[in-house]
Structure 1
């Protein structure tokens, strides 16, 4: 559907409008009594979320590029149907293809509490089928309210089981990386990608002073980003997830990526809810798996 057709079928007054912000890039703009949000149809990529009266919760790089087929720096990229490099084919895109292919709008709805619900489905094609030869469907359900609820739903529609890796690769906006601590992963085991997947146990809250790329395993715990600079905490509650990834590329890697902006890495941290490495999901024929994350703001 083009912009006009989407607005005719799925717009909700001033609460949901569809706009083409660049050639081939349409965004759903959500504005309700609780919050503002933008969601790109490519990748069903939540680009922004800002509760009314608050600073943005989701970080989007000022240099983020909205270009068909290219990943967007910031927001909530969807890693699916694998996390990290593909298990057997290094030529396939890292973190899967879901974040760089078109999704379609399936439903929009104004909820009785003033929140807004949107549902998207990944559009299958010959290109996606060549990368993922399993019969399946995947949808993303988003509820924009005082909090942001994100639900990634995968169904095995085939006759054979398959292995699923996934994550909501969420970038959170913080005042400065030196002023924040991540709580909730104390005593959890993690694999450190910076140190060739060496295994460690987290002792205290996570403080970031250099490049961090860790997969915490076997944890369903909430995480809380305590931000002394903004005098707030961001709570990440999750269901259907046994891995939490914490990532900050730090100066050298961020500079090489070219789309972070000057010192951009200092104003963000990724705390990702997913199922990776030892926690990949095996989905039997006919089975449905739901990965849910809820992001909310609390006062410090």
Structure 2
């Protein structure tokens, strides 16, 4: 659909409209009484979320991000699906699956009675997706923008055989200073240290970032908090449908090597990801569905 058609069908006067974004990609701009947000229809990806009264965005978005078909957008809340990480079958397919670098469909928009704004985006299998991953599926993302940001990813199996998925909201959070940031709620959890040869270790105390960090935490609880003392705030992440979480920061070397990151971006971003990863594989039976949910809320220090 064109921007004009999208606005004709789904615009919410004074609160939600469709606009041409960077690279000519269609975007959803939300300006409600509760929050501002920017959502890219390409990748089905929330790029920005800022509650009214908050001086800073919750999300990090790279100034060097790509905005083009076939490329992932570096920042916001990318969706990794139907696998997290490298191609599980080693066939050379894209890392983190194929839904974060293609256009989604707008399914519905709604101004809810409590003042929240709801956006539904979807994807279904096509001959192109079946050539990558030979399954019939329906994927729906429900985005609720209010005092908090709530993301739900619903996978439905439209085929005749059970399939397995791993998945994630690979969310990039903006932090004031990575050296003054810590992650709470993972104390005592076992984790796979992907930056340390995939050794399995145990977290002692809060997570702090002093070098490259790429960890899959196992058997996690449903609440994790980013304590960002430089911005005098805490970001509370509450999840459902997930038993693993990923903490990632590229640090200096990788930040310099990534063309879509500024050299110093590692100092101002932290990924804390709501995932089904590692041994947390989800089986979806024919006609069945699964739901992964993440809720993000600012708690002032």
Q: Normalising by structure 1, what TM-score?
A: 0.98
Shift in Å at residue 105 of structure 1? 0.4
CA contact (8 A) 1:80 1:165 kept: yes
Q: Give SS of 1:226's match.
A: strand
Shift in Å at residue 201 of structure 1? 0.7
Q: Deviations along 1:83-119, whole A, 9 cap, x unmatched?
A: 0111113410000001011100000000111110000
Shift in Å at residue 67 of structure 1? 1.3
CA contact (8 A) 1:42 1:100 kept: yes
In structure 2, what is the Cα distance between the partners aligned to 1:154 and 1:15?
28
- The answer to whether the aligner puts 1:212 opposite 2:213 as a matched pair is yes
Q: Deviations along 1:169-191, whole A, 9 cap, x unmatched?
A: 00001101011110000111100
CA contact (8 A) 1:164 1:280 kept: yes
CA contact (8 A) 1:187 1:203 kept: yes
CA RMSD of aligned residues (A): 1.1
CA contact (8 A) 1:220 1:239 kept: no
Aligned to 1:36: 36
Aligned to 2:275: 274
Aligned to 1:294: 295
Q: Deviations along 1:237-278, whole A, 9 cap, x unmatched?
A: 000011100000001101100222241111110000010110
Aligned to 2:224: 223
Aligned to 1:159: 160
Shift in Å at residue 218 of structure 1? 1.5
In structure 2, what is the Cα distance between the partners aligned to 1:72 and 1:144?
20
Shift in Å at residue 213 of structure 1? 0.2
Aligned to 2:123: 122
Aligned to 2:238: 237
Q: Give SS of 1:216's match.
A: strand
Shift in Å at residue 21 of structure 1? 1.7
- The answer to whether the aligner puts 1:58 opposite 2:59 as a matched pair is yes
CA contact (8 A) 1:192 1:200 kept: yes
Aligned to 1:136: 137
- In structure 2, the CA distance between the partners of 1:126 and 1:18, relative to structure 1 (3 Å rule), is same
Aligned to 2:113: 112
Larger mean Cα displacement after TM superposition, 136-145 or 261-270: 261-270
Q: Deviations along 1:15-54, whole A, 9 cap, x unmatched?
A: 1111112455100001101110011011111110011121
Aligned to 1:4: 4
Aligned to 1:15: 15
Larger mean Cα displacement after TM superposition, 255-264 or 75-84: 255-264
In structure 1, what is the Cα distance between the partners aligned to 2:221 and 2:138?
25
Gaps of 5+ in 1: none
Aligned to 2:97: 96
